């Protein structure tokens, strides 16, 4: 009986892990598809990810200052800083690319913040 109970637990656990993994992959794929078409969603995702790395870097600094971590933990910090810089740069670049793509599709008025069909008044 005990081996059957263990087998049932393993089977249920594997099924749950597979279902959760499938759901996570589905959400990741839909998020990637949404990011490709919606620059605001892409900016938000990149910003959240970079803030996550900033918070972790501050945590490492605080642990080193307290003496709970060795200073050797700073060894990976340049990689994290470069990755954060890349994420912030991608966020800003994505805005410009989206604006240029919208301008190419709709014309120069695509960059303005007015509703479609309403011309902005410029002073010459």
Domain regions of the chain by residue span: 1-35, 38-107
Are 95 and 84 a contacting pair, CB within 8 Å? no
One DSSP character per residue, 47-111 reads HHHHHHHHHHHHHHHHHHHHTSS-GGGGGGHHHHHHHHHHHHHHHHHHHHHHHHHHHHHH-GGGG
pTM over 0.85: no
User: Per-residue confidence of the chain (124 residues) as pLDDT tens digits?
Assistant: 578 888 889 999 999 999 998 888 888 777 777 766 677 777 777 777 778 878 888 888 888 899 888 888 888 788 877 877 777 777 666 556 556 566 666 655 555 555 555 555 555 4
pLDDT of residue 29: 78
At a CB cut-off of 8 Å and minimum separation 6, what does 53 contact? Answer: 80, 83, 84, 87
How many CB atoms neighbour CB 97 within 10 A? 13
């Amino acid at each position: 009986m005990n081996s059957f109970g263990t087998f049932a637990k393993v089977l249920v656990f594997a099924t749950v892990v597979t279902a959760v993994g499938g759901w996570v992959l589905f959400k990741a794929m839909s998020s990637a598809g949404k990011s490709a078409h919606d620059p605001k969603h892409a900016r938000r995702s990149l910003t959240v990810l970079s803030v996550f790395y900033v918070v972790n870097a501050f945590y490492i600094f605080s642990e080193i200052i307290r003496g709970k971590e060795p200073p050797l933990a700073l060894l990976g910090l340049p990689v994290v800083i470069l990755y954060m810089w890349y994420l912030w740069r991608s966020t800003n670049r994505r805005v410009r690319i989206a604006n240029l793509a919208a301008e190419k599709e709709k014309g120069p008025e695509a960059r303005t913040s007015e509703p479609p069909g309403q011309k902005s008044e410029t002073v010459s």
